[in-house]
Structure 1
Amino acid sequence: MTSTAPIGVGRRPTLGTAKSAEIFTRIITHGPVSRLDIGRLTGLSQAKVTKTVSPLIEGGYVTVGEHAEHSFPGRPVRPLSVVPRSMIAVGVKVNAEEIFAVTVNLANEVLGSTRRRLKNHDPETTIAAIATSVTSLIEQLGDDAAHLSGVGVSVSGDIDTSTGTVRDSPLLNWTHVPLGTELAERLRLPITVENDVRALAKSEHWFGVGKDASSFAIVTIGAGIGCGIYVNGDVVVGSHGVAGEIGHLPLASSDAVCVCGRRGCVEAVASSNAILDSVRRGRGEPELTLADAIRLAHEGDPTAVDAFEDAGTAIGAALAATVNLFGPEVVVIAGEGVMDYDLYERRFREEFLAHAFGAAANCRLVVRRHTFTDWARGAAVAALREAIAVSAGSPVD
């Protein structure tokens, strides 16, 4: 496989320990923040905080506020903030028909984006398209490319993040694809390959609802049904690299066949494609589009209404099972499918309340639309987190 010319990786902070990475992460996610507050959050002494932060300031990753946030007699307290462009990552979301790619800095700002259609989604074609998109975005960075820390790629399915291998992606029909290795050979850059919903959860932990939550879940509804879980200080990966796959809980009818080949999965009745297939079969109109199915449901067509209500029933039961298992503080319901949330909200909430045990029903539910740019941004955040983890020599919370 032919590689592109080397692109050069920007500097990474020298952290050395997980606690140093924790302090840097606190500044990224909660800045501007004082040394005093960092000490309270991390349990470290002021001397230790100062010792850890000094190299970050000298290296240009952290800056000190020009004006005191508040002060004690003779001792002004100046807030610490991250320097946004000191670390930049490219994030790529892979879908069956197209890929989305963005460049993101430490302030979660999108600096550039691109969208590329795929003639087909076989590994070779997809890898070539990813490499082209990444190279184009890096060229757009100009001098800021010197601060590039890596590339994150998010894919639906069972992902071995440690090796960058897509072990099984039913959506793409991929098995055992060494995506990270192939891209690293082409781009000569650090590559982070992550499950798409887990990448979203990592982004939500740093910059979204999870920033101040002790635990949360993000449930995505669209071409697939996924769930990312944050609990006990980290996003759950699972001993075997699989966790949060609520789309494959056997809560639907055994007559429903899932894209994974199993029967009765939530995804087999609740994904966008499953809903569309149900409406097509029920009406005997194989040419219907998803937009047609949505229109018919809004018009009260019984077949379309039933399809969306079946989806709501399955998703509500799956969410109740998730909440019963680990009791999150908040659940974000996101993805392109939430645009049609009104079509199944009643059944969804009924099923959730019917099966949520006791106080688990008090879990706060937040509905939010996610665009494919948000998915790609999640992949970029996963790459930034990995860069900091490597600099610290251990995982980052």
Structure 2
Amino acid sequence: MFPNHSQPLVSAPAETAVLAMLLAEGPVGRVEPVRRTGLSPTAVTKAARPLLVGGYPRELPPERTAPGAGRPVHPPAVTAGREYFVGVKIAAEALRGTVRDFRARRCADTVSRPLGLVRGPAAVCALLAELVAELLDIGAEFRERTRRLGIAGSGDVDRRPGRVRYSVLPDRRDVPVVGTVSAATGPRGTVDNDVKALTVAEHRFGEGIGTGNLALITIGAEIGSGLVVNGEPVAGAYGVAGERGHVSVDPSGPRCHCGAVGRVEAIASADAILRTVRRALEDPEADFAGAVQLTRDGDRAARGAFVRAGRAIGVGIATLVSLVGPERVVVTGEGLDTCDLFGAHIKEAYTSRCARRPRNAR
């Protein structure tokens, strides 16, 4: 059992740098942490010592860098089962959670709780606590070795006090999610915007490994984005830095749920596209799947909605890239299933407005 769940695993910058590199890229030889972190060999050794004592990395069997060359090295690798983490996503229709090991690999099937009529903040937090408790009980070692809980949801999230300040969902304003759930379940919690959390995950374990500057774009029910600059996620003073979905691209465009006019999300989210198609067809019962099929069948009105969405997304990406100059742009989200309908228009708008594209843009 952890003696104190409230204490951080590492606190010194050198320890953090070494552990982060091992998590993302280990196992590595002794020389690599020195080269990648810029620390001296002595500093790396000092930083790694308490981690090794705690069993977080382990030294693999010795291997020589070359036949007959010097002493054999013991490359360190992360002990995946040394610690576990619970992650929960708060979506509009359900709560979804799972358990991950120290390498962010899934260790349990995803468990869901439909929200249904459960809408009030107190009821949602209570259901979330039940979900976390169930996840911790799946494996005998999970409750003993889990000290952290990560919660992600849409909207304006303030990580420091652990509150959801604003959400598009009704009644979810200034909700103290972390304090409520941590008190009920034990592990210390962190809450963040879902796209910001995804950006960190991609930077450390996915498409962004090895990059210092990364932009991530999500396309789907909402249009979101996240930034990593000089190796650190960027949130800004109020946690909303890099929100490309709320960049205004059309002063005569529709009004966003936040009240502003012509923002990318008000034009290019799945709901926005569907509203445009319904108006064009004068069919309030049309659904998104039907709009997609109409577009693929060549309907001009439906196609126009996707073209406009693609151009808005492309302009938003170009704005973001021009401002921060990322090495790589990762585009993801459930909306990629319909990328054949607007992908070309995203690229066209992006390339026409961005002087120099990132070479590794994806």
Output the TM-score relative to the length of structure 2: 0.94
Counterpart residue number, 2:348: 350
Instruction: Give the CA deviation at 1:63.
Output: 0.6
> What CA deviation, in whole Å up to 9, does each residue of 1:52-110 have, x standing for no partner?
21221221111111141625634001211000111211111111111211111121211
Conservation of the 8 A alpha-carbon contact between 1:197 and 1:227 = yes
Partner of 2:197: 199
Q: Secondary structure at the match of 1:25?
A: helix
Of the three residues 89, 112, 116, the one matched with 1:115 is 112
Q: CA deviation at 1:13?
A: 7.0
How far apart are 1:232 and its partner, in Å? 1.5
Taking structure 1 as the reference length, the TM-score comes to 0.86
Aligned twin of 2:82: 86
Residue in 2 aligned with 1:385?
none
**Identity rate, percent:** 35
Distance 2:349 2:33 in 1: 42
1:99 aligns with 2:95: yes
Are positions 1:41 and 2:36 aligned together?
yes
Amino acid at match of 1:130: L
How far off its partner does 1:307 sit? 0.8
1:352 and 1:298 map into 2 onto residues whose CA distance is: 23
SS class of match (1:100): strand
Deviates more, 1:219-228 or 1:173-182: 173-182
> Alignment partner of 1:177: what SS?
coil
Question: Would the aligned equivalents of 1:118 and 1:125 in 2 still touch at CA under 8 Å?
Answer: no
**Structure 2 residues without counterparts, runs of 5 or longer:** none
* Structure 1 unmatched runs, 5+: 1-6, 367-397
- CA offset digits 1:223-275 (Å, max 9, x no partner): 11111001112000102222111111111353402122222111011001111
The alpha-carbon deviation at position 189 of structure 1 amounts to 2.3
**SS of residue matched to 1:194:** strand
Answer yes or no: is the 8 Å Cα contact 2:121–2:171 preserved in 1: no
Given the alignment of the two structures, is residue 70 of structure 1 paired with residue 68 of structure 2, yes or no? no
Contact 1:257–1:268 (CA under 8 A) maintained in structure 2 = yes
Partner of 1:189: 187
Aligned to 1:157: 155
**Hey, what's the Cα distance between the residues in 2 that align with 1:100 and 1:136?**
12
**Matched residues in 2 for 1:158 and 1:173: separation?**
14
Residues 93 and 116 of structure 2 are in contact (CA less than 8 Å); yes or no, is this contact kept in structure 1?
A: yes
Aligned counterpart in structure 1 of residue 298 of structure 2, from 294, 297, 300: 300
Q: Please name the residue that 2:20 is paired with.
A: 25
Of stretches 291-300 and 70-79 in structure 1, the one that deviates more from structure 2 is 70-79
Distance in 2, Cα, partners of 1:255 & 1:222 = 19
Deviation at 1:15, TM superposition (A): 3.4
Aligned counterparts of 2:250 and 2:80: Cα–Cα separation in 1: 46
Aligned to 1:388: none
Aligned match of 1:329: 327
Task: Tell whether the 8 Å contact from 2:211 to 2:231 is kept in structure 1 after alignment.
Answer: no
Give the structure with the larger helix fraction: 1
- State the alpha-carbon separation in 1 of the partners of residues 344 and 38 from structure 2: 45
Aligned ranges 1:366-381 → 2 under 5 Å: 366=362
1:47–1:143 CA distance, 2 compared to 1 (3 A)? same
> Are the equivalent residues in 2 in contact too, given 1:9–1:147 (CA < 8 A)?
no
| Matched positions, count | 358
Question: 1:394 maps to what in 2?
Answer: none
| Among 44, 55, 58, the residue aligned to 1:60 | 55
Q: Distance in 1 between matches of 2:342 and 2:4?
A: 47
Are 1:273 and 2:268 counterparts?
A: no
Separation in structure 1 between the aligned mates of residue 316 and residue 219 of structure 2, nearest angstrom: 12
CA distance in 2, matches of 1:69, 1:206: 28
Aligned to 2:240: 242
- In the alignment, the residues of structure 2 paired with residue 317 and residue 323 of structure 1 have an alpha-carbon distance, to the nearest angstrom, of 10
Equivalent of residue 148 in structure 1, options 146, 149, 159: 146
Q: Which runs of 4+ in 1 moved over 4 A?
A: 7-14
Shift of 1:9: 7.0
Distance, in Å, in 2 between the alignment partners of 1:157 and 1:16 is: 29
| Aligned match of 2:168 | 170
Q: Which has the higher contact order (CA 8 A, sep 6+)?
A: 1
By how many angstroms is 1:23 displaced? 0.8
Distance in 2 (CA, whole Å) between partners of 1:191 and 1:212 is: 28
Q: CA deviation at 1:343?
A: 0.3
Distance 1:325 1:168, change over 3 A: same
Q: Are the aligned partners of 1:10 and 1:147 in contact in 2 as well (CA < 8 Å)?
A: no
Per-residue displacement from partner, 1:98-129 (whole Å, max 9, x unpaired)?
12111111212111121221113331232122
Indicate conservation of the 8 Å contact 1:331/1:363, yes or no. no
The residue matched to 2:72 in structure 1 has which SS? strand
Following the alignment from structure 1 to structure 2, what is the Cα–Cα distance between the partners of residues 15 and 294? 49
Cα 1:144–1:179, aligned 2, differ >3 Å: closer, same or farther? closer
Instruction: Identify if the C-alpha distance between structure 1 residues 69 and 176 changes in structure 2 by more than 3 Å, giving closer, same or farther.
Output: farther
